[in-house]
């Protein structure tokens, strides 16, 4: 079986060989032939990003990750169709599949197809329930090492993604991108097909469309009432069935229901 490890959305496959690997990581059980390789690997589990890109201020857990990242700024591996710059020739070849629609790797259980072999391996864990990556602080397990890496920041408090406009920091890159779109941009790329109203993020559009379709996917387990959003369901459970408690933000005084 081939083991895969995801690092910042890049999945690398490690082929088995006959070399002795006496140095073992106590967090994820991965083994190494050299002690210094194990030491560098352990940095991934600390939640610390030690290597800084001087052009975009993104941080990395290893020098090799930073080295490949710099190819993005140099434009060495640039897609001729959309202009996107990748960090390696392999990732550029994979990216080109987004234009061709090629998905050569198929799941034998549900027939879902993937552009990457590593993504297929990760997907197969849904069917097997395998979660090989374990948090050393709370014993929570994950199906992907990238998810473990992000989770560890809960314990370390590390927020490596910084907004260059307001200096606010975030745990995930996706949180930073959402912040920039909602706070620092006026772009509203998502439009309602029913009334034409524009939205900054897709989830807001999805919630809005339910007004037109009258979709109410969240049902109460105590009665027949249904709701458009989880928050509406939580408020109903508190008011009608005495489930949950009110939480008031001490900064903006907005109220939330906590179950």
Q: Provide the sign of the torsion angle of the four alpha carbons 83, 84, 85, 87, taken in this order.
A: negative
- Nearest Cα neighbor of 150 from 22, 61, 210, 230 is 61
Are residue 14 and residue 138 in the same domain, yes or no? Answer: yes
Are residue 8 and residue 89 in the same domain, yes or no? Answer: yes
- Could you report the per-residue pLDDT of 223-256, keeping only the tens digit for each? 999 999 988 998 899 889 988 787 776 666 666 6
Tokens describing residue 223: 């009665």
Q: 176, exposed or middle or buried, with CB in 10 Å at 0-12, 13-18, 19+?
A: buried
- Could you report the per-residue pLDDT of 100-112, keeping only the tens digit for each? 888 899 999 899 9
Count of alpha carbons within 13 Å of 110, Cβ hemisphere only? 10
Are residue 125 and residue 243 in the same domain, yes or no? Answer: no
Domain coverage including residue 8: 3-156
Cα 28 from Cα 147, distance rounded (Å): 13
pTM of the model: 0.43
Cα 38 from Cα 31, distance rounded (Å): 8
B/e letters for 8-32, b = 16+ CB within 10 Å, e = fewer, are bebbeeeeeeeeeeebeeebbebeb
Are residue 235 and residue 205 in the same domain, yes or no? Answer: no
Are residue 118 and residue 23 in the same domain, yes or no? Answer: yes
Our count of domains for the chain comes to 3
Q: Is the pLDDT of residue 195 over 90?
A: yes
């Amino acid at each position: 079986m081939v083991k895969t490890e995801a690092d910042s959305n890049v999945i690398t496959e490690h082929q088995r060989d006959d070399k002795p690997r006496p140095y073992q990581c106590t967090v994820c059980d991965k083994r190494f032939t050299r002690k210094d390789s194990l030491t560098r690997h352990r940095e991934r589990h600390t939640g610390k990003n030690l290597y800084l890109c001087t052009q975009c201020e993104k941080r990395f857990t290893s020098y090799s990750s930073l080295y490949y990242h710099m190819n993005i700024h140099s434009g060495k591996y640039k897609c001729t169709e959309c202009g996107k710059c990748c960090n390696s020739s392999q990732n550029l070849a994979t990216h080109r599949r987004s234009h061709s629609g090629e998905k050569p790797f198929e799941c034998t259980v549900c027939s879902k197809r993937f552009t990457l072999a590593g993504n297929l391996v990760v997907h197969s864990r849904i069917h097997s329930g395998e979660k090989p990556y374990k948090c050393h602080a709370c014993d929570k397990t994950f199906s992907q090492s990238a998810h473990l890496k992000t989770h560890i920041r809960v314990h370390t408090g590390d927020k490596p993604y910084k907004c260059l406009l307001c200096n606010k920091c975030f745990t995930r890159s996706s949180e930073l991108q959402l912040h920039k779109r909602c706070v620092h941009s006026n772009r509203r790329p998502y439009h309602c097909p029913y009334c034409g109203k524009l939205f900054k993020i897709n989830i807001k559009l999805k919630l809005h469309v339910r007004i037109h379709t009258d979709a109410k996917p969240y049902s109460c387990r105590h009665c027949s009432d249904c709701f458009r959003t989880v928050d509406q369901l939580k408020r109903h459970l508190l008011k009608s069935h005495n489930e949950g408690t009110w939480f008031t933000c001490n900064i903006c005084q907005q109220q939330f229901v906590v179950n």
